[in-house]
Amino acid sequence: MERCEGEKKKVENEAKNMITEIKELMSSIKNSKSSYAASLSKQQKLKDKWEGFRIAFAERETVTLIKWPRLIYLSLASLGGIAFLALFGYGMISITID
């Protein structure tokens, strides 16, 4: 009989511990869901911010048309690939050669 009582108490203690662990797990899951939702919201806000920045930059971008003699164009091109691309590679300046 004593042995049964001891086993019963042991099972009760294990059940209490399991219930406590389950409650802690459920609390962690609830907290992680709200953290995940907040992270998604922040991520979307950041995407929207960068999209707005991209659109604003595109609206401010101007393309200048320059008509230069071939000699000036070729002398600028001879400055080197990097300098040439920095000046003309991004489409900010459009050049026609006469």
Tokens 């042991």 belong to which residue?
Answer: 10
Q: Can you give the pLDDT at residue 13? A: 87
List CB contacts of 94: < 8 A, sequence separation 6 or more.
63, 64, 65, 66
| Angstrom distances, CA of residue 5 to CA of 15, 19, 42, 63 | 15, 21, 55, 89
Q: Is the pLDDT of residue 28 over 50?
A: yes
Q: Can you give the pLDDT at residue 70? A: 61
Q: Is the pLDDT of residue 31 over 60?
A: yes
CA distance 65 to 95: 6
